[in-house]
């Protein structure tokens, strides 16, 4: 049976995607920084592995445990919501280190074996913020836009080896822990610069008032990732969720 390695599986899109692949009969290596945070039900096809995508030794250990990887899903990522002026450069670097450079590092780790056997698929997870220039998301949006641009170019390099590189673009998903994690990170960073505080609160309220029927569920993202991983004629960039589909249509 085929094997998929998925990063960032403790909650949200990663967890749902791991469960979806298991249901489809795949062997799943579900990775997360802290395996103790795993809440997925036990399965003979599920292997929970520690992985920090910003640590080369951690990446090498996870790849060695998985063995032959047919599909890599780069889902691990961190968010940030603040004015550009109020974003410390160290925070901006941290966002890019995980969202972009961690994705590149994982790709580089699996590509030699995929190239040797001339088979494999890599699915990277971006964000529908690439379609809409929402305020206070400049750094996060830039990191995800870079993931899309990088993947599109890499796809052209890898096609000669029968390796597919694709991107899934999820919409806003308030039901996941992602928004809460962003809020916690902003709080640790000292909240918003005073000059932007009122604007930030209004922007947060607008996001929270987004109609539920226009947001994205984790199951929609999992289905899109599986489609990207398994359908030969799937688009290189695939929006997931009604708001992401609507945003893509306007491009």
Residues taking part in catalysis: 140
Please report, in angstroms and rounded to a whole number, the separation of the first and last CA atoms in the chain.
38
- Residue 112 burial by Cβ neighbours in a 10 Å radius (0-12, 13-18, 19+): exposed
Which alpha helices (DSSP H) does the chain contain, by range?
12-23, 56-66, 89-96, 102-117, 138-158, 178-188, 197-208, 218-230, 242-249
CA–CA dist 190, 203 (Å, integer): 18
CA–CA dist 20, 18 (Å, integer): 5
Tokens for 91, please give them. Answer: 């925070």
């Amino acid at each position: 049976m085929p094997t998929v390695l998925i990063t960032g599986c403790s909650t949200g899109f990663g967890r749902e995607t791991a469960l979806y692949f298991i249901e489809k009969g795949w062997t799943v290596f579900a990775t997360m920084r802290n395996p103790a945070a795993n809440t997925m039900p036990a399965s003979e096809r599920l292997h929970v592995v520690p992985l920090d995508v910003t640590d080369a030794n951690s990446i090498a250990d996870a790849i060695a445990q998985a063995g032959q990887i047919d599909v890599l899903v780069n889902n691990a990522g961190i968010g940030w919501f603040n004015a550009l002026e109020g974003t410390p450069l160290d925070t901006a670097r941290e966002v890019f280190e995980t969202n972009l450079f961690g994705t590149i590092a994982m790709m580089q780790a699996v590509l030699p074996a995929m190239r040797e056997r001339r088979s494999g698929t890599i699915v990277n997870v971006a964000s529908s913020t690439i379609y809409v220039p929402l305020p206070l998301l400049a750094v996060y949006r830039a990191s995800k836009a870079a993931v899309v641009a990088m993947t599109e170019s890499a796809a052209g390099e890898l096609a000669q080896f029968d390796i597919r590189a694709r991107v899934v673009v999820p919409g806003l998903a308030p039901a996941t822990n992602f928004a809460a994690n962003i809020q916690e990170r902003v709080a640790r960073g000292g909240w918003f610069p005073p000059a932007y505080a009122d604007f930030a609160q209004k922007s947060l309220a607008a996001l929270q008032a987004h109609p539920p029927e226009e947001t994205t569920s984790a199951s929609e993202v999992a289905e899109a990732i599986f489609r990207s991983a398994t359908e030969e004629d799937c688009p290189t960039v695939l929006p997931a969720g009604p708001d992401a589909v609507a945003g893509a249509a306007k491009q």
